[in-house]
Structure 1
Amino acid sequence: METQTLTKRMYRSSMSGHYARVLYELNVPKTDIEKTKETFAEVPQLREVFINPTISAKTKMSVIDQVFPESMKNFLKVVCKNQRVDLINEIFDAYDEYCDEQAHILTAVLTCVEPPSEEQLDKMKVFLCDKYQKADVKIQIVEDTSLLGGFILHVENDEYDWSLKGRLTRLEQKLTWR
């Protein structure tokens, strides 16, 4: 069952990645993409209309024509025609990731007890830009008091664990091995 779920997730991910690349190549203005994202976020019923099989394709196309920016209409119609509107949020997320990738922007997740200062963030960005040879870094900050202190930095497939909790765990592992 878990393998089947993983396979589904990977398929969905590759599908959303495909649509994201197409959206990128269409050179749709970012403001129109943002408006479309906001519309789906503010009116979740829209997504439900597009995935509802009892609503005709003609009605769905009419809704697209009435609601969305001109530059997004054909893309959304193809997504709707291919019955992939259920992936719309994943497509937008994959689009953002693809844009960052094309602009050589690295994404990192910093898990910490309390947010770092601007100076600390700047030092992390310089370190990450140098190490991963990227033009810029976006750091998402997640607060987690269970770390006790320090931080964990996730970048691509790497993890830098400088948390007190992580250090205590490593110390415990060393002590129990002897």
Structure 2
Amino acid sequence: MSQNVIAERYALALFMLAKEQNLIEDLTVEMRTLKKVLTENPSFLTLLSSPKLTLNEKKNVLQNVFSSVSPTVENTLMLLLDAHRQNEITDVAEAYINLANEESGIADALVYSARPLSSEESHAVSASFAAKVGKRSLNIENIVDTNLLGGLKIRIGNRIFDGSLRGKLDRLERTLTT
């Protein structure tokens, strides 16, 4: 069975519980935090996979690190540990976020710019590009890339909108050389 299928099943179960308890937004925030912590600290998952720790020790570590999460998320984490699927935690968080975004009509977007965007600029990008991908709004993560020279490069799912100066110069170069 594919690893993503497993993560999607756990995420769907968590999402259905969240929907039943009207906690979709709260759990989305928790899952974003969980995903960020695990992505920034990959050695934590290595620790949870260590055969030197017993299952109870792993659960205690997980409970101490994520003590502020809701009981629903904590129970999901414990289920993943019980099933020896601790390496799926990040994928479950990602799949849950995708389900919550789909329910809310929101999409995640990576916006590459030559300088940090102000909140007004972020709102303007969200308003203008959300409609292009059929969503209500965008969750924008701004990444500063000094190689762009100016303009924006936006990635929403598998779609890329390249309005950067670097992209325009590259396209111009390709047209002139062919």
* Matched ranges for 1:145-156 at <5 A: 145-156=146-157
Where does structure 2 lack aligned partners over 5 or more consecutive residues? Answer: none
TM-score (norm 1): 0.72
Amino acid at match of 2:124: K
Name the structure 2 match of 1:166: 167
Between the aligned residues of both structures, percent identity stands at 27
Aligned partner of 1:34 in structure 2 is: 30
Unaligned runs of 5+ in 1: 1-9
Contact kept, 8 Å, 2:28 with 2:97, in 1: the verdict is no
Q: Aligned residues, how many? A: 166
Q: Secondary structure at the match of 1:26?
A: helix
- Residue in 1 that maps onto 2:49: 51
Following superposition, the deviation at residue 157 of structure 1 comes to 2.2
Question: 1:114 aligns to what SS in structure 2?
Answer: coil
Specify the alignment match of 1:111 in structure 2: 112
How far apart in 2 are the matches of 1:65 and 1:175? 57
Specify which structure has the bigger relative contact order, considering alpha-carbon pairs within 8 angstroms and separated by 6 or more residues: 2
Report if aligned partners of 1:108, 1:155 keep a CA contact under 8 Å in 2.
yes
Aligned to 1:6: none
CA drift at 1:32: 10
Distance in 2 between residues matched to 1:160 and 1:43, nearest whole Å: 31
State whether residues 113 and 144 of structure 1, in contact with CA within 8 Å, keep that contact through their aligned partners in structure 2.
yes
Are 1:22 and 2:13 counterparts? yes
Greater Rg by CA: 1
| Structure 2 counterpart of 1:99 | 100
